[in-house]
A and B are shown apart, each in its own frame.
Chain A
Amino acid sequence: MAALLQASRPRVGGLSLILVLLLLLVDHGQSRPINPYQAPAPVALGSGVAPTAAHCTAP
C-alpha cells in the first residue's frame, strides 16, 4: 500500500490497466467462448432487434 501511495501517476495508471487485463484473463477462463456468428449488429438502431444488454437502472 505504501508503495502504491508513493508511485507516480504513470505507474498507478499502468497498474489500473494491468488489473483490467487480469480481470479479462479471469473472465476468459470462466466465460463461454464468444461466437462470432452470433455477434449483434454493429449498431442497435435500425437492427430491428430489442436490446438485451443489462443496465444499472434495471432491478
Chain B
Amino acid sequence: MNLPLVNPAPRRAALVLLAFVAVFLTFATAGPRAALLLLVGLGFGLTLEGLRFGFAGPWRTLVTERDARGLLAQFLAIGLTACVAMPLLASFPTELNGAHAPIGLAMIVAAFVFGAAMQLVMGCGSGTLVNAGSGNAIALVALVGFVAGSFFGTLHLAWWGSFGVLPLLTMQGQFGTVGGLAMTLLGLGVLAALALQRSLPGKRLPPRRLWLAAALIALLAILNLVIAGQSWGVVYGLGLWGAKLASAAGADLGGTAFWGSAAHAERLSQSLLTDVTSLTNIGLILGAFLVMRWRAVPDAQVAPLTPRSWLVVLLAGLVLGYSARVALGCNVGAFFSGVSTGSLHGWAWFVAAFAGSMLGIRLRPRLLLPLLPADGIGTGGGR
C-alpha cells in the first residue's frame, strides 16, 4: 500500500511544544519538583515506548519462545539502579526512602494473581500506562479497570494485611550496605544464569537498544529517587486517581481505614500535581504518546475484539489493579524498585508473579482465543 508522503516536521514541532507546555504549566502550578518529576515520567515513557522496553512481554517470551534478551535487560536495569540507590539510601537515610515492604501471605498470592492478569492484558503497571499512551485500545480499557481495582484494593488492604506478615526484611539489614548490594547483584546474576540456561542460542544477548534502554531506565529510576526522595512507583498514583473520582462522585472516604489515615487523607486532599507517582504516571502516558505520534507511521491498532473480550480485558485490568495494591506494588514499585533498593519482598514478589505469569500465558488463549480472529489478539507490543 502506498502511503501519502506527509512532512512530519510540523507534527513533531507540535509534539515538542506539547511537552514543553505540559512541563511549564506543571512548574508554574506546582513548583520545580513537580516539573522535574513530570520530566522523569516523560523520560520513562519515551524510553519504554521508544526503545520498546517492557516487563510483561519479556516474561512471556522467555516462557513461550525461550528468548531471554528482554528479561536480561530488566535485570541489568535493576542491578545498575541498585549500585547507586543502595549506597545513596545508606548515606542519606533521613532524606531518601527505599521501596521496602514486608513479605506476607496475601502479598505473595496477590503477586501471583497480578502475574496472571498482566499476561491477559499484555501489560504490567508501567506497560498499561505506556500502551494506553501509545494508543493501544486494549490497554486503555485495562487502565480504566486498573484505576478502579487499585482503588478498591486500598479499601481492603488492612484486612489482607492481617494474614501472616513477616517483619520487614532488607538486604542491607541482613548483610550490611556493601554485603546487601553484593547479595542483590548475586541474586540478579543467578536469575540471569537461569534465564540464559532456559533460552535458545541467538536469543541470549540483548540488542543494543535494550542495553541503552536498561541504562536509561536505571538513570531515570535514580533521578526519581533523588528528586522525590522515594523510589519509582506506579500503583499508588492509580489508586489515588480512583479515590479522587470516587470522592468527586460523592463517596466519603474519610471513614475508611486507608484514606482516613493522616498520610493518605493528606494525599487525597492535595492536588494530583503534588503526588509523586501521579506525576510520573502522567509523564509515562504523555511520553508514550509523543513517541507514537513522532513515528512516521504509527503501529497498527490491536486486532478487533468481541464485546465479551472487552469485558475480559476490563475485568483483568480490575484484577490487575486490585492485586497490585494488595501485593504492595506492581512490577515497578515491588519488583524493580523493591529489589533495587534491597527489599526482600521484591524477590518474593518476582517469584510469585513469574509463576502467575506462566499461568496467565496458559489462560490467555483459553479465555480470549474463541473471541478473536485466527491470528490471535494483536498486542501492539506487550509490555
Contact = CB atoms under 8 A, between A and B. Distances in A.
Interface string A1-23: 10011111111111111011001
A13 to B, nearest CB: 4
Interface stretch (B59-67, B200-208, B209-217, B322-330): B322-330
Given A12-B137, A51-B228, A57 B244 contact: no
A9 B292 contact: yes
B236 A55 contact: yes
B247 A57 contact: no
Interface string B222-258: 0001111111011110011100110110000000000
A44 B228 CA distance: 6
B317 to A, nearest CB: 14
Contact of B33 (A15, A40, A48, A57): A40
Contacts of A56: 99, 233-236, 239, 277, 324-325, 328-330, 333-334
B161 interface: yes
B270 interface: yes
A52 B263 contact: yes
Interface stretch (B70-78, B303-311, B367-375): B303-311
The contact size tier of chain A is 35 or more
B229 A45 contact: yes
A9 B156 CA distance: 36
Interface in A42-59: 42-59
Interface stretch (B127-135, B173-181, B190-198): B127-135
B79 interface: no
B298 interface: yes
B244 A10 contact: no
B97 interface: yes
B292 A13 contact: yes
Contacts, number: 206
A42 B32 CA distance: 5
A28 B74 CA distance: 37
A50 B30 CA distance: 19
The contact size tier of chain B is 35 or more
Contacts of B270: 31-32, 34
A15 B343 CA distance: 37
Contact of B272 (A4, A23, A33): A23
B334 A57 contact: yes
A39 to B, nearest CB: 3
Residue among B137, B161, B307 with the highest chain A CB neighbour number at 10 A: B137
A51 B97 contact: yes
A49 to B, nearest CB: 7
Interface string B107-141: 00000000000000000000000001111110011
A33 B269 CA distance: 9
B94 A26 contact: no
A21 to B, nearest CB: 10
B304 A16 contact: no
A4 B276 CA distance: 30
A29 B136 CA distance: 29
A40 B37 CA distance: 12
B95 A44 contact: yes
Contacts of B240: 54
A13 B49 CA distance: 13
B282 interface: yes
Nearest to B264: A54
A27 B29 CA distance: 14
A32 B271 contact: yes
22 contacts: A5-B301, A6-B304, A9-B136, A9-B300, A9-B380, A12-B301, A13-B135, A14-B289, A30-B248, A34-B31, A39-B33, A43-B226, A45-B95, A50-B95, A51-B97, A51-B228, A51-B229, A52-B263, A53-B276, A55-B276, A57-B100, A58-B263
The 8 closest A-B pairs by CB, nearest first: A9-B135, A51-B229, A44-B229, A39-B31, A13-B135, A56-B235, A57-B101, A42-B32
Given A6-B301, A39-B30, A51-B230, 12 more contacts: A9-B301, A17-B289, A20-B282, A39-B33, A45-B88, A45-B225, A50-B94, A54-B267, A56-B325, A57-B334, A57-B343, A59-B328
